[in-house]
Structure 1
């Protein structure tokens, strides 16, 4: 059975993502936004500090290898290397941090849904959350197994003549958008114990909304510094989309799709 939509059926995924910026400032939700955000910032800052130290050692070695008349290359390459490092780590952390912050992301999605619906999800105590960690991390592993082979195929396309220069970037962006929709919409679905295949099926029924939401997340994730807050914003926006478009179908397990 196809999941039913409840309201706001004409609202785009971009609108839901932008709604997330308002939701993260909502009283009562800010503390749940703060935890994953601080974990993100602290780990990212620690790795950046370590990486720049290693970069400094590399440039010291390079300086010793270059003749004096090429020493000016250091001043040109250093800023470029730092910017490249920050951008690459930003992309890496968008994946790694989803693992580290997964329990808090699910909790944020739960609180956002309570705020939007006025109803308690009754997901248990903090101890229940700890007991549920293996299942939560297992869900992240399912998403990773879904992502990796498809990502490898997309990356191989970049090496195919003509295709790599024309269609591969478009395919990669569309794939990234789809994965962002899966990644963040999965938290409210998982809070209701909706299986991963059923969650994908539901998103497929609203492809336009799903892809536009994922595209907005992907674009904002490409902006250094801004991407620090993309994770909580996307979770809030995805939860608002769940409440409007999917929640009613899964309120009772017997009416969810097989």
Structure 2
């Protein structure tokens, strides 16, 4: 099976794991519900006052004749809302993981113990406040990277044909990469894997990452779906993190999902759309 299929299979396996562990799934829903309420309020506000914001930002167009003024500002309003949706997909995961750090740490540890041959789950040994600080710091760095890509894709959206076809597809792959980084960080931070090393691991298995993160990015466009998939996404990302680090899973031999048994090394000079 290709890495693309293996990545998607990890996403499904994570959902199956939480389906078998109802209590962990129930607790894992709480952070997503809180974040959903906050984001829904922000997007509603943007929908109500986004046109006024665009008008304020484009005073040079006040004297334009109809219909050009309406078309221009209507287009910018639609693009602004689309960009906000793209960023909300990426930052939704970061904010939810930050709010639900204790919940998802506990869930990820349970997955590790469940699939590890010796029933062991790695622990960071750091106090909660330190884990929260590292998570917030790294999430901010990822959000900045995602925002830069969002601006680039926004600019490319003005290119005729390409902007309406290729750019949205690239956007889903980029979003999928950053979503996967945020989700695998729960398990990798417990193993003291720094952000730079995490990005190197993900870039070395880009098709695996896209197979996991891109379908999730598409699903996360529906807010309620994002809430219900988050616990399973964390579980699946923990399984994939074990693959990336070459850790043996109790179920690898039975399911044959293509997990590696030795840690992959990022190739020198590797590049990725998520750099």
> After TM superposition, is the score higher than 0.5?
yes
Q: Give 3-state SS (helix, strand or coil) of 1:13's partner.
A: helix
Which of the residues 20, 25, 47 maps onto 1:26? 20
Q: CA 1:161/1:187 → structure 2, altered by over 3 Å: closer, same or farther? A: same
Instruction: Give 1:15 shift.
Output: 0.5
Instruction: Tell me, yes or no, if structure 1 residue 38 matches structure 2 residue 39.
Output: no
Which of the residues 12, 23, 31 maps onto 2:6? 12
Q: CA 1:152/1:106 → structure 2, altered by over 3 Å: closer, same or farther? A: farther
After superposition, the CA RMSD in angstroms is: 3.6
Which residue pairs with 1:158 in the alignment?
Answer: 157
Which residue pairs with 1:144 in the alignment?
Answer: 143
Which residue pairs with 1:66 in the alignment?
Answer: none
Task: Measure, in 2, the Cα distance between the counterparts of 1:228 and 1:186.
Answer: 18
Q: Contact 2:176–2:213 (CA<8 Å) still a contact in 1?
A: yes
Task: Measure, in 2, the Cα distance between the counterparts of 1:162 and 1:49.
Answer: 33
Q: CA 1:119/1:9 → structure 2, altered by over 3 Å: closer, same or farther? A: farther
Which residue pairs with 1:211 in the alignment?
Answer: 210
Task: Measure, in 1, the Cα distance between the counterparts of 2:187 and 2:99.
Answer: 17
Instruction: Give 1:35 shift.
Output: 3.1
**Deviations, residues 9-32 of structure 1 (Å, cap 9, x unaligned):** 7961110000011111334xx444
Q: CA 1:238/1:132 → structure 2, altered by over 3 Å: closer, same or farther? A: closer
Q: CA 1:95/1:195 → structure 2, altered by over 3 Å: closer, same or farther? A: closer
1:184-223 equivalence runs, <5 A = 184-223=183-222
1:54-203 equivalence runs, <5 A = 91=89, 93-117=92-116, 118-124=119-125, 128-203=127-202
Q: Contact 2:4–2:212 (CA<8 Å) still a contact in 1?
A: no
Instruction: Give 1:162 shift.
Output: 3.1
Task: Measure, in 2, the Cα distance between the counterparts of 1:217 and 1:10.
Answer: 13
Question: What are structure 1's unaligned runs of at least 5 residues?
Answer: 1-7, 57-83, 250-254
Q: CA 1:144/1:122 → structure 2, altered by over 3 Å: closer, same or farther? A: same
Q: Contact 1:9–1:245 (CA<8 Å) still a contact in 2?
A: no
Task: Measure, in 1, the Cα distance between the counterparts of 2:242 and 2:43.
Answer: 41
Q: Contact 2:146–2:175 (CA<8 Å) still a contact in 1?
A: no
Instruction: Give 1:47 shift.
Output: 6.4
Q: CA 1:228/1:98 → structure 2, altered by over 3 Å: closer, same or farther? A: same
Q: Contact 1:102–1:137 (CA<8 Å) still a contact in 2?
A: no
Q: Give 3-state SS (helix, strand or coil) of 2:121's partner.
A: coil
Worse overlay, 130-139 or 44-53 = 44-53
Q: CA 1:35/1:130 → structure 2, altered by over 3 Å: closer, same or farther? A: farther
Worse overlay, 136-145 or 32-41 = 32-41
Task: Measure, in 1, the Cα distance between the counterparts of 2:47 and 2:3.
Answer: 50
Q: CA 1:217/1:138 → structure 2, altered by over 3 Å: closer, same or farther? A: same
